[in-house]
Structure 1
């Protein structure tokens, strides 16, 4: 007595030999599906890795182009900002740097040693309470500086 695949819906039972055959078929189908899914997963992962590597390479190339331009030399801070914090293409970023132009270096209020030596500023030391004048004052001041440098009292 042979029943259809839908015999369970009518309340009929299958023969045990038919059950074993159906189980074997189901097992084969499940194995083939798993193998296909594994192949698809491996292919998808490989494609994803290639895309990631390609993206990194393109991003490095874009940053190198921005930092390598002559306009980046005048504004390294803006070059870094445009390279790392925006999605501009290299040509757009370089164009922006060219439009901004270079910043003139800020003049520092640094005084040369020569001008500091010429100034009339007096720095008081431990003996500063006794103002002295003349050549003897200069000699005593220099002697005091020498002694303090050598560690003598």
Structure 2
């Protein structure tokens, strides 16, 4: 039986506007225990930013996180999937593009979810190390 992206995606993803400060995005990630948020301009998907993006792209530059907007840290060349696509296709895209998360969009390319490598591990092999890590509470 085929599985679809909609079966395991996180619905109603957290979004921020491009002018949101990096400090605010970091607070949102911490408070909601998230590794990524989508960057939207209105209801149009503009990018995806991860906790790693903030650390690797912005902090080493010495930018002031309160003054720097998230648009400078987000990945803009996005790979996306639709909720009705086969989950195997999402896995192929993750491998091909070496990404851990893929935004899920509707027919008009409005974000409706996000699917992660951890979601797939939990669905396909919940007893694996990645599956265990994905459900573990954060250490901090």
Fold match by TM threshold 0.5: no
Looking at both structures, which has the greater relative contact order when contacts are Cα pairs under 8 Å and sequence separation is at least 6? 2
- Larger % of helix: which? 1
TM-score, normalized by length of structure 2? 0.22
Instruction: Work out which of the two has the higher radius of gyration on C-alpha atoms and give 1 or 2.
Output: 1
Query: Which has more strand, going by share of residues?
Result: 2
